[in-house]
């Protein structure tokens, strides 16, 4: 995966977590077009940044363990060289 692709997948992961609409790990991995191992690597990396994420079997969704609002946004910008 390219850097831009990784960022876009991380943004989508964040959006689905905030919405409480990730589904099972397998479903989430399919939505992000990655395998489950890569999904858990992404989650571990976000956890390392203190964006603690857990999974609810009852509601079948991942969620953030903190109540604070999290903004997670990258902006793609094309650069022109003269």
3-64 — its CATH code? 1.10.10
Average pLDDT per block of 10 residues along the chain, 82 residues long: 82 92 97 96 91 94 83 73 75
The pLDDT, as a whole number, for residue 60 is: 96
Q: How many CA atoms lie within 13 A of 34 on its CB side?
A: 21
Q: What is the pTM of this model?
A: 0.80
The pLDDT, as a whole number, for residue 75 is: 73
Q: Could you tell me the CA-to-CA distances from 60 to 20, 25, 54, 82 in Å, in that order?
A: 9, 8, 11, 51
For residues 61 and 52, the answer to whether their CB atoms sit within 8 Å is: no
The pLDDT, as a whole number, for residue 68 is: 61
Domain ranges of the chain: 3-64
The pLDDT, as a whole number, for residue 13 is: 94
7-9-10 Cα angle (round to 5): 65
């Amino acid at each position: 995966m390219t850097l831009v692709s990784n960022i876009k997948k991380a943004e989508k992961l964040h959006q689905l977590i905030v919405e409480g609409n990730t589904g099972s790990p397998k479903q989430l991995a399919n939505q992000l077009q990655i395998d489950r191992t890569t999904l858990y690597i992404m989650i571990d990396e976000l956890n390392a940044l203190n964006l603690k994420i857990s999974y609810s079997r009852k509601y079948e969704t991942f969620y953030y363990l903190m109540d604070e609002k999290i903004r997670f946004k990258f902006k793609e910008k094309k650069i022109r060289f003269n």
